[in-house]
Chains A and B, each alone.
Chain A
């Protein structure tokens, strides 16, 4: 039923810049896929190529196994929601949504029925006569979506769909869009630079950097096993510590143990998420608490030693129990993390010293 998209070896250059460098991507039927990456990573360009707003320099794009590059935008069956919505400012909400049908010379009763149905879907029946400038950001966003859906596209593409909205509207729309996707089951790709948004909404996330796909997977897979240092850093805060591996034990270059790893000896860089840093008050401890910031349910603790500062995150309740306070000495346990080589590749799992036994078992099984 649903549509699949096959992208193979797509290259796009703008002058001297290679914006997309041999991109391969298979979009599965009916999935909600996020293209996640920093600005300039090529994700919007890829979306525009799929929609037919731009042509690749080489490579193929197939929609349901048919060559999409030979099809004009009209024949691709693609609905596109622009970052700033690009609603037709001289047309009412009704006429905006009806545009694709009028272009196709659909009979009037059919246009009226379809637009009314879509207005109901986006819950804006009462605003059919308004002009885009008279709507709020969230309302415009929904009109843009209804307009893109009017001609019943096989694929829905959204470029930074929530970028221009405030936090509350964004959260509501996100849920609404997820629900809508589950009802309609239309293959959907959206572009975002917001990691939380991508993970919250998508079935599968594709991470792009500098014109290449760095990693694909479910949100959990990507968060747990980031392909390289870029992905790890992009997905959230990391403490970055130069480290060495010796006899399956990992030490920070500054001299303290980080945990264990099942890998050959050598120099690596450890990436440790703040929630894997667990400080505990200890008068004999080598670390010193520098700063505590409590933000509601969560708290952040900065601890330092010998000029090195690392960040820890814990729940506010755990902070109370730990009796940590500024200028108090502490011990720090590392409960997890990821090691990469000098090039930021070659991922190795960092295990806490306590789970040394499991390292041996894992090592034996592989």
Chain B
């Protein structure tokens, strides 16, 4: 009993110190100069641009990774091919590489003096220090989230239900949309939530490729840094509170949906009974 209480106390203290307290501080600092100032900071044109940019990046990166994730899990779970294990390892690569390195690699590839830089500038295509580079960097960093969530699920579920659908007369498209996709939907849903949270909060890789032009290539997380750097503490915390709200919203959404569909989740997640 004593050990249990000690462990619970340590866990709670740790959570308070590292999760709850920062959250409280973010909101208290953001609102320290009153609610009016808080909203003024958010409607600042540069901050509004950062919000817009963040939304655009997530709106491209998340669907792209959703599609990649579905395709990768389909390949890996349904087929046995040469290089399958290499593919599984490669999917984890963005997790094991520092986002800053990922950003640097992109600069080396697409930058003015980079491998493809000459060709790109000849054709007037700007990737580095512009939106395409930021989207690419975010997509790379958030790539594993959906795939990692869905692949084990697809592997565990196997191919039996698809075969059953074939014998019941379904064609390829019907099988995909009525069987394969729905049975993965909770895995996909968690993956998308995590992927989205990370895409909106990504700092390192985007920071390297964006050039941090305030009001032009600033995302929310970059804006927090530049505002803080220019001693606009309250505004920095106001923007940070947006990201914190996003995190909270993600959690609430996940918990709410889990609760509403608890029967079905339970049914889908349980190991196949034999």
Contact = CB atoms under 8 A, between A and B. Distances in A.
Interface string A127-143: 00001111001001000
B166 interface: yes
Given A103-B174, A104-B169, A88 B264 contact: no
Interface string A75-91: 00011101010111111
A330 to B, nearest CB: 46
A11 interface: no
Nearest to A133: B267
B122 interface: no
A52 B166 contact: yes
Contacts of A82: 160, 163-164
Given A88-B183, A89-B161, A103-B174, A79 B268 contact: no
Contact of B263 (A52, A78, A131, A140): A131
B168 A99 contact: yes
B264 A103 contact: no
Contacts of B164: 80, 82, 86-88, 147
Given A53-B163, A131-B263, A133-B270, A89 B183 contact: yes
A91 B264 CA distance: 8
Contacts of B163: 53, 82, 86
Contacts of B267: 89-90, 131-134
Contacts of A103: 168-170, 174, 178
B57 to A, nearest CB: 32
A275 B161 CA distance: 45
Contacts of A140: 273
B179 interface: yes
Nearest to B164: A86
A99 to B, nearest CB: 5
**Most chain A Cβ neighbours within 10 Å, of B157, B160, B266:** B160
B167 A53 contact: yes
Contacts of A78: 167
A151 B161 contact: no
A84 B270 CA distance: 15
Interface residues of A, number: 31
B274 interface: yes
Interface in A44-93: 51-53, 73-74, 78-80, 82, 84, 86-91
A134 B268 CA distance: 10
B165 interface: yes
A253 interface: no
B260 interface: no
A90 B182 contact: yes
Contacts of B170: 74, 99, 103
A177 interface: no
A360 interface: no
Contacts of B179: 88
A148 interface: yes
A124 interface: no
Interface in B153-205: 157, 160-161, 163-171, 174, 178-179, 182-183, 185
Given A74-B170, A147-B164, A150-B168, 14 more contacts: A73-B167, A74-B169, A80-B164, A88-B164, A88-B165, A89-B267, A90-B182, A90-B264, A90-B267, A90-B268, A99-B170, A100-B169, A131-B268, A151-B168
14 contacts: A53-B163, A53-B167, A88-B179, A89-B161, A90-B183, A90-B185, A91-B182, A99-B178, A131-B263, A131-B264, A131-B268, A133-B267, A147-B164, A150-B168
Interface of B: 157, 160-161, 163-171, 174, 178-179, 182-183, 185, 263-264, 266-268, 270, 272-274
Which 3 pairs from chain A and chain B are nearest by CB? A131-B267, A86-B160, A74-B169
